[in-house]
């Protein structure tokens, strides 16, 4: 509110516009610092021995140590957790992309009875939180003998992301003009060729969106991971391992800081490289959905 008032003042006195802008910049920079500070703090402290983190967490490391990282990689097998996470989230992403583009193709290109029903069923399923399906799904996973294996996480997560992905992709496919497909048909292409050679390549932007949010939601989703893999350490993905670190090694500050850093850094690198796509991917459908 203050800034808005300030903008009003600065508007009246044109000379002071730069002052008003300066205040806006100060507030924006303040928030940026508030956003970055926790991450910077944890990265700096990951290079200190635990005792030093407890004593002076605001200074740069007095003696630079990699001990926490040696501990993290040695004791906790972080690399293995990465491998599991990439396997799980990679399969989820691939599964969602394939199933969602097939469904959207069927829903946008064919006319049939019950199409509206299927569409509204898909929209309705967005209202089912994981809490409301997890117990029966857990039962099935046990009955199938999948409990504690990566597939126990993959299957429910594919289903959990599929509805939203289909909605995003249907919206995009509807905007692709049908002429090219008709032309391909005249040339003798069948439906499957049209789908694979024309539709899928044209849908690349929305496939990227779907890939990004499926991967991140799957990677970050502790709830399903925790229930489906609990106790099977060799298959722990990153989040489950982190949660275990926090409950077991909660007093080893250096190790905790190193673990958080190990988890944050790769995401940070990918984020910096693909930020525009990621921001678009995660807010997709929110504005015009």
Partner 1 sequence: MLYKKKWPLFLFLVPGLLFLLIFLYIPFVENIKNSFYDMASVVKMPGQEFKFIGIDNYKRLLTDPDVRSALVNTLKMMVLTVIFEVGIAFVLAVMVSQVKKFQQLFRTVYFFPVVISATAIGLLFKLFYNYNGGMLNQILERFGHEPVLWLGPDLAFIMICIPTLWSYIGFYFVILLTGLSDIPDDIYEAASIDGCSKFKQVFYITLPSLKPVFFTSVTLAVTGALKVFDLPWVLAPNGAPQGLTHFLGTYMYQTAYGLNNYDYASTQALLIVVLGVVVSKGVGALTADKEEKAERKAKKAREKAAKTMKKEAA
Residues 59-98 that bind partner 1 (CB under 8 A): none
Q: Which stretch binds partner 1 (CB under 8 A): 67-75, 76-84, 130-138, 201-209?
A: 130-138
168 contributes a contact to partner 1 by CB under 8 A: no
Q: How far is the CB of 19 from partner 1 (least distance, A)?
A: 14
* The residue to which tokens 């991967």 are assigned: 215
> Which residue in 99, 151, 200, 208 binds partner 1 (CB under 8 A)?
99
Q: Which residues inside 227-246 make contact with partner 1, applying CB under 8 A?
A: 227, 230, 238-239, 242-243, 245-246
Q: What angle do CA 131, 154, 74 make, to 5 degrees?
A: 105
Q: How far is the CB of 225 from partner 1 (least distance, A)?
A: 9
Whether 265 contacts 194, CB under 8 Å: no
| CA–CA gap between residue 120 and residue 167 (Å, rounded) | 10
| CA–CA gap between residue 6 and residue 146 (Å, rounded) | 61
> Which residue in 18, 74, 112, 187 binds partner 1 (CB under 8 A)?
112
Q: How far is the CB of 48 from partner 1 (least distance, A)?
A: 12
Q: Which stretch binds partner 1 (CB under 8 A): 61-69, 75-83, 99-107, 201-209?
A: 99-107
* The residue to which tokens 């890939």 are assigned: 211
| CA–CA gap between residue 125 and residue 120 (Å, rounded) | 9
Whether 99 contacts 158, CB under 8 Å: yes
Q: Which residues inside 209-228 make contact with partner 1, applying CB under 8 A?
A: 216, 219-223, 227
Q: Which residues inside 187-206 make contact with partner 1, applying CB under 8 A?
A: 191-192, 194-195
* The residue to which tokens 């990951």 are assigned: 46
Q: How far is the CB of 263 from partner 1 (least distance, A)?
A: 5
| CA–CA gap between residue 244 and residue 85 (Å, rounded) | 15
Q: Which residues inside 12-51 make contact with partner 1, applying CB under 8 A?
A: 12, 21, 24-25, 27-28, 31-32, 34-36, 38-39, 41-42, 45
Q: Which stretch binds partner 1 (CB under 8 A): 60-68, 74-82, 86-94, 257-265?
A: 257-265
Strands (E) across the chain are located at none
> Which residue in 155, 173, 211, 228 binds partner 1 (CB under 8 A)?
155
How many Cα atoms sit within 13 Å of 27 on the Cβ side? 10
Residue count of the chain, please give it. Answer: 289
> Which residue in 92, 103, 167, 173 binds partner 1 (CB under 8 A)?
103
Whether 89 contacts 218, CB under 8 Å: yes
């Amino acid at each position: 509110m203050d800034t808005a008032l300030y903008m009003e003042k600065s508007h009246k006195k044109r000379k002071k516009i730069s002052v008003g802008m300066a205040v806006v910049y100060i507030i924006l920079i303040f928030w940026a610092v508030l956003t970055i500070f926790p991450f910077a703090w944890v990265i700096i402290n990951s290079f200190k021995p635990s005792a030093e983190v407890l004593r002076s967490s605001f200074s740069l490391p007095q003696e630079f140590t990699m001990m926490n990282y040696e501990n993290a990689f040695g004791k906790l097998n972080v690399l293995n957790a990465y491998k599991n996470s990439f396997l799980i989230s990679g399969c989820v992403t691939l599964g969602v992309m394939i199933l969602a583009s097939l469904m959207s193709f069927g829903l946008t290109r064919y006319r049939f009875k019950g199409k509206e029903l299927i569409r509204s069923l898909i929209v309705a399923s967005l209202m089912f939180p994981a809490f409301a399906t997890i117990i029966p799904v857990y039962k099935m996973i046990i009955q199938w003998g999948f409990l504690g294996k990566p597939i126990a996480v993959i299957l429910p997560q594919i289903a959990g992301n599929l509805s939203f992905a289909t909605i995003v992709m249907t919206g995009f496919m509807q905007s692709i003009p049908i002429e090219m497909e008709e032309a391909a048909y005249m040339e003798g292409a069948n439906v499957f060729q049209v789908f694979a050679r024309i539709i899928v390549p044209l849908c690349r932007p929305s496939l990227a969106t779907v890939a990004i949010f499926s991967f991140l939601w799957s990677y970050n989703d502790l709830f399903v991971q925790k229930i489906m893999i609990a106790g099977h350490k060799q298959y722990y993905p990153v989040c489950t391992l982190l949660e275990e670190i926090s409950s077991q090694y909660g007093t080893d500050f250096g190790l905790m800081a190193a673990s958080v850093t190990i988890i944050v850094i790769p995401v940070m690198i990918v984020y910096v490289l693909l930020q525009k796509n990621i921001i678009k991917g995660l807010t997709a459908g929110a504005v015009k959905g």
